[in-house]
Amino acid sequence: MSLVLTLLGTGDATSVPAPLCNCEYCIDSDRRRHPSVLIETDDVRLLLDAGPDLQEQLHEIGVRSADGVFLTHKHGDHTAGLPALYQTVKWDSDHLASIQELQPTPEGFDPGFAIFATPKAHDALTTRYGPWDERLTYRSIEGGETVEINGIDVSAVPIDHHRPDCHTLGFVVDDGDKRICYAPDMRRWHADPPENVDVLICEGAAILGQPVHGPRDELLSAVESVDAERTVLVNVNEHVQQAHTDELQQRASQEGYELGTDFKTYEV
């Protein structure tokens, strides 16, 4: 069994191209969607973050089911796909003969997956979207906790966002052999860094030049402390960095890291 990782979105809250912008960086760069990754084995499919590009991202790679959705924190670029998931499970999945037969699924309906998020994120999303967990299944997860889904362990790692009220998590996905860590929007680890990581998918803005979530030296120290076999930088934005993709690739390579690209797949 191997873990298959797909980068669904390697951009940030603005993404690329930026709306209503005709700068050379937006014009010349490939699209970067909002942050999200998919991790799969033969028996499980996990979605980490569900931003506003969720429908397009899943459609692009032909994914129509998931066994769990894990949200790193409350910000919209990581969670704005939630209303679409709610609407999907709101209606009976059977093909209907006519619109008159359209009936909402009953409360308590099991959509086949749960949304894992901190209680703080749950409350913020309820304020933003209303009682979304009437039909979506919510499961609380906090830093230091591990859940098991079809033989795969997902461990929540607390990380410091540049906004302390965000209560942000990273996630380590472990199949018993290989370990992938996903940690976007990171300033530093809140406590001890994860160990024995094969692939680290992490915040890269400060390493590339713009300290969006904190100082460059703090982020570099956090990334180096993991000592992953392979590190891929996300939260990439040519518009914000005011640099072309090849220049950002060079900056990442100088540190021994890779620059993430939307829909690139890794077999771990």
- 155-189 pLDDT tens trace: 999 999 877 777 899 999 999 999 999 999 999 99
> 195 in a domain, yes or no?
yes
What region, left, alpha or beta, does residue 260 occupy, with left being phi > 0 and alpha being psi -120 to 50 degrees?
beta
Are the C-beta atoms of residues 40 and 46 closer than 8 Å to each other?
yes
Are the C-beta atoms of residues 238 and 244 closer than 8 Å to each other?
yes
The CATH number of the domain holding residue 160 is 3.60.15.10
Beta bridge partner(s), residue 47 = 38, 69
> 44 in a domain, yes or no?
yes
> 103 in a domain, yes or no?
no
Residue 184, both tokens: 């976007």
Round to whole Å and give the CA distance between 237 and 80: 19
Round to whole Å and give the CA distance between 78 and 74: 7
Provide CB contacts within 8 A for 219, sequence distance 6+.
Answer: 186, 187, 188, 203, 206, 207, 211, 213
> 96 in a domain, yes or no?
no
What pTM was estimated for this model as a whole? 0.93
Our count of domains for the chain comes to: 1
> 102 in a domain, yes or no?
no
Amino acid at 209: G
> 99 in a domain, yes or no?
no
> 190 in a domain, yes or no?
yes
Give the CA distances from residue 156 to residues 185, 252, 262, in Å, rounded to whole numbers and listed in that order: 15, 26, 24
Closest CA to 16 of 242, 265, 247, 233: 242
Structural domain containing residue 139: 4-91+108-263
> 45 in a domain, yes or no?
yes
Q: What is the pLDDT along the chain (268 residues), one digit of tens a residue?
A: 689 999 999 999 999 999 999 999 999 999 999 999 999 999 999 999 999 999 999 999 999 999 999 999 999 999 999 999 998 887 755 555 555 556 666 666 778 899 999 999 999 999 999 999 988 999 999 999 999 999 999 999 999 987 777 789 999 999 999 999 999 999 999 999 999 999 999 999 999 988 877 789 999 999 999 999 999 999 999 999 999 999 999 999 999 999 999 999 999 9
